[in-house]
Chains A and B, each alone.
Chain A
Amino acid sequence: MSQPPPRRWRLSRRGFLIGAGVVGGGLALGVTLGLPALRLALADAFEGAVPPTIVTTDPFLWFDIAPDGRVRLAVPKTEMGQGIHTALAQIAAEELELAWEQIEVVQSSSLGPVADNFGTNASNSVSSLFAPLRETAATLRELLRVEAAERLGVAPAALSAAAGSFFVTAEPQRRLSYGELATGATAREVPPEPPPLKPGAAWTLIGASLPRVDLPAKIRGAAIYGYDARVEGMLFGAVARPPSLGATLRRVAPGDVAARPGVVAVVIERDFAGVVAESRAAAAAAVRALDVEWIEKPPLQQEQIEAPVRAAPGRGVAVQRAGDAAAVLRGARVITAEYRTPMAAHAHLEPQAALVDVRPDRVRAWVSTQYAAGTAQAIARALGRNPRSVEVIPTYLGGGFGRRMISEVAIEAARLSAAAGRPVHVGWSRAEEFQNGFVRPPTHHVLRAALGPDGRIAAIEHSQASGDVIFPFVPAPIGAFFGADFGAWRGARITYAVPNITVTSERVPLPVPTGAWRGLGLLANIFAIESFIDELAHAAGIDPLAFRIAHAGDDERGRRLRAVLAEVAERSGWGGPVPAGRARGLACAMDAGTVVAHVAEVSRKPEGGICVHRVWAVVDPGLPINPDGVAAQTEGNICMGLSSVLFERLSVRNGRFAADNFGAYPLLSMRDAPAIEVTVLRSGDVPYGVGEPPMGPIGAAVANAVFALTGERMRELPLMGGNSNSPPP
């Protein structure tokens, strides 16, 4: 599946690695993160809430042109439904002048050909790789051009490239394919200057809605996910789970479990007990039969988790400050409101799963993980191995949503495989999934504002409190330095033109493990802010659309926001007639460089509750690489966001999460899914992320529609009322 980069490469002045390809010679070109790029990436990491982790000098993109003309692009980013492999292939094929069928994207493992320094998260894959991918592809193209010029006896400028060949522009029949040029080009020097990039006007693949490259296999049920990974001679593992949150192992007595039919190994370590068996069922039954004693904490209750999450003005760390909001608010008539969001589960449909084969000299692991390098390091640590001897091969992921930045299951399978001397697959049950790992933290928001005589916002204050989001994944000193969790305050800043703004974020340590959930703080913060903006619009007696447009800034972002709002108004017929018994709400967000606005149309269900009939969405991701892909991500964000906003609340009862399966934690179904109309706008030549931003405004769009319908403000999620999770059966 993956091979390390060829050993005999040369490093060019510009940070390219050039050498012979791994598939029968040919040409290979990779690009390393030079020091300036590294600094940028780290800066981005803090801005965009990407956990900074190991940073290596390994290449992060790798092209391989085989003598038969096949072009393979190795990428570190994992495919979890966001269409990332397709988008990256489009960008590469465009710059390299390939026909769409000529490129193949290969998922890199933790050992290469490329390094995975950040994992796949924070909607940053396309935006962070766009420029380096184009430049690398263009460099490769120019190496081939020089080789072709010499072989054809013409000046490089006399050549054109198309569909994987260079030809003499004036005599198109004189041509050489990339495959024919590849081996010779390995001796060429990387040009000292960056090559010219193809102008946007000439693009045919970037901006085209090409079909996803991973779907043919997925349609046939042939795509391999972590839960599907199989090798010869594999066994199955199961692990003893703590009976309550925070419980640790005191003592394990194996009894006669090792003698049970099908049991191959019983593994008892200081903090771990598991069984390897010939079948999943045998392993699970054997683990249940172990006599395990736990050290338990006093049982946690829901009150202990939500009560400390209390924001208040003047507390926490300032994450945005303009003018002097406190001073303006002091003498003014202050409008204030509080919002709450609950804990939530990731509930990706494929539970954690890994297959690990531990050998004396090396380890191979097939894992549904968002972060191959981090998983490899964790396995190496657990086994006391050199990380360079551990290869984590990311499979397809049955959803990620942040949960798979950490893949504990791979460590479990590794420990079991090390003990059994055979490859071991561990796949979590749904209950294991709900009870172990980490959840989205609860949040609380206090918003205060004053309107000027012109009905504009004179000052606004957003004080938010949240459990940790990113801090669990970064070294403690970084957390101490920043004070407020930059994941928690993602989306918390006010993006409207208001002269006096204060936004603070308060970190609340919680007794349950919390962490990254799709969009991090985005869903919660935008729910609070965009609901409050709606309250302010009503207080000012101004239509919520006009109010937002009036507060869009005069800069580039403000211009994009106005365009998106105008478009969503046009598409939805904002202000026009609405079917009887229904009403509409509007909300918008700017996140990760992408601008998005939703209009939701709702009614009351006769049996109580909210029915969301339609959503009009407009999204401006700068440059949409694949507009249909952007639309699909937008639809998915709306539905996953609605699921969370309408139904989801994970609670704790007697020391456990009060849900073991979807019965107690219902997800949105097709019955409650609205009709969605997405419009994708292009505002520039740089792509921004779409994996999360469209989720931001959906909660407020619905809550604002409910207000328009009933006059009732809903300031707490889930909107369909306190699902406190039904008692365990």
Chain B
Amino acid sequence: MNLTINGRTYQVADDPPRVLLWVLRDELGLTGAKFGCGAGYCGACTVHLDGVAVRSCQTPLRQAAGRAVTTIEGLARGEALHPVQRAFLEVQAPQCGWCMSGQMMTAAALIAANPNPSDEEITAALERNLCRCGAYARIRRAVARAAVLACGSGEAA
């Protein structure tokens, strides 16, 4: 079957049944989406399906067929970082960084859907993305900043 990931088409077998995360990481070499729990708790594996944040460790491959998959590797437009990436860099949000692909993908989907999120809306969107290093204060700041940057550049989508 065909998978469209970051604008590129990949041919993958749809048998045996498996989840999107491991196909990305182990078969296609896209290791930007991370594995933290495999059970939907941590959000490290978050990617977009048609712009909506999903947990790729809980996403059957078939569910991704025919839809636009975006991973952290596809968030920037070439050299130009996505506003969320610019904000996370500006705020120096990552520590170890393992959770950060998921944090940024979740944030990008939030801002695309809600260009001006309140603090509560940011928390509601991000509270299921765990960060063991405890970078929450900066993640929160970075998401708010990303909304401002996106609004200035019209790049949110």
Contact = CB atoms under 8 A, between A and B. Distances in A.
Contacts of A223: 97
Q: Is the interface of B mostly helix, strand, loop or mixed?
A: loop
Contacts of B130: 349, 662, 667, 669
Interface string B115-152: 00000001100111111111111111000000000000
Given A280-B22, A349-B98, A640 B134 contact: yes
B138 A632 contact: yes
A490 to B, nearest CB: 20
A680 interface: no
Contact of A219 (B25, B81, B134): B81
A661 B94 contact: no
Counting chain A residues whose Cβ lies within 8 A of the other chain, the interface size class is: 35 or more
A724 interface: no
Nearest to B41: A662
B20 interface: no
Interface string A367-406: 0000000000000000000000000000011111100000
A214 B96 CA distance: 9
A670 B98 contact: no
B114 to A, nearest CB: 16
B134 A668 contact: yes
Contacts of A675: 137
A406 B88 CA distance: 31
A211 B89 contact: yes
A228 B35 CA distance: 10
Given A661-B37, A663-B41, A219 B135 contact: no
Given A670-B123, A670-B126, A636 B33 contact: no
A527 interface: no
B52 interface: no
Contacts of A80: 96
Contacts of A215: 89, 92, 94, 97
A349 B96 contact: yes
Interface string B81-107: 100010011001011111111001000
| Interface-central residue, A281, A669, A676, by most chain B CB under 10 Å | A669
A279 B16 CA distance: 11
Top 10 A-B pairs, shortest CB-CB distance:
A221-B32, A639-B134, A398-B98, A81-B96, A81-B95, A221-B72, A673-B136, A218-B97, A228-B31, A662-B41
20 contacts: A215-B89, A218-B100, A219-B104, A220-B32, A228-B25, A281-B16, A349-B130, A397-B96, A398-B34, A398-B98, A632-B95, A633-B95, A639-B131, A640-B132, A642-B134, A661-B38, A662-B39, A670-B123, A670-B126, A671-B127
Interface of B: 16, 18, 22, 25-27, 29, 31-39, 41-42, 44, 71-73, 75-76, 81, 85, 88-89, 92, 94-101, 104, 122-123, 126-140
Given A227-B34, A347-B132, 14 more contacts: A215-B89, A215-B92, A219-B94, A222-B32, A351-B35, A399-B96, A399-B98, A635-B138, A637-B134, A668-B134, A669-B128, A670-B127, A670-B136, A673-B137
